[in-house]
Amino acid sequence: MFIRSERLFLRPGWPEDWEELLHRIADQGIVHNLARAPWPYRAEHARDFAGRAQDKRFPHFLVTLPGATGPRLVGSCGMAPVDGSGGGDAELGYWIGRDYWGQGFATEAARALLRLAHTLGHRRIEAGHFVDNPASGKVLRKVGFRPTGDITRRHSKGRGVAVDSVSYAIDLGETGNCDGDSPAPCRRDAPLPAMRAA
């Protein structure tokens, strides 16, 4: 499974990606904003992530930026089953390497992944950010998420403690169909259909 957006190409990780992945994510300022990544982030963690099998319902991607000298790894974006009981069927997560902050790549990748989530039949997607990472909340709001009003304690593997996390959700509406009578959700320039703040 692959996704092409305006500037980015989202693809599964391959075992040979581990070194570039390690270079991009081994940054305490990134890992401390993630729930599942350990700190320090080591080669074995990058090898494990790059070689991880895909789940057809909850895919995860490396976010790459095509260029004349070849693609560069920008970050990662994916879905996972919801940990809690907030009513969503999937959780969106992402990170972008420090060299690429402030260029709209997180927003673009998240928007592309939401289109895929809609096509895969997900109806409600959850997301969140630690309270000391408000920049992530700006990304979530840009792609249509709305705060649920809940602040929960979530364990950060990188910090080794539970941290207050602001909860967001988005309702995607009815399932999309790239092969049938509703192709609009499958176009990368089309707005997400019937999405409502949750």
For the chain, what is the mean pLDDT? 89
Q: What is the pLDDT of residues 9-23, one digit of tens each?
A: 999 999 999 999 999
Q: How far is the C-alpha of 61 from the C-alpha of 77, rounded, in Å?
A: 5
Give the model's pLDDT for residue 41: 98
Task: Check pLDDT > 70 for residue 100.
Answer: yes
Q: Which residue has the tokens 């040979």?
A: 16
The pair of three-digit structure tokens given for residue 43, joined into one six-digit string: 């080669």
Number of domains within the chain: 1
Q: Which residue has the tokens 């999405």?
A: 195
Task: Check pLDDT > 50 for residue 6.
Answer: yes
The contacts of residue 138 (CB under 8 Å, 6+ apart) are: none
Give the model's pLDDT for residue 89: 85
What are the residue ranges of helices labelled H in 3-104?
18-25, 28-31, 43-50
Domain span at residue 147 reads 3-197
- The enclosing domain of 29 has a CATH number of 3.40.630.30
Task: Check pLDDT > 60 for residue 49.
Answer: yes
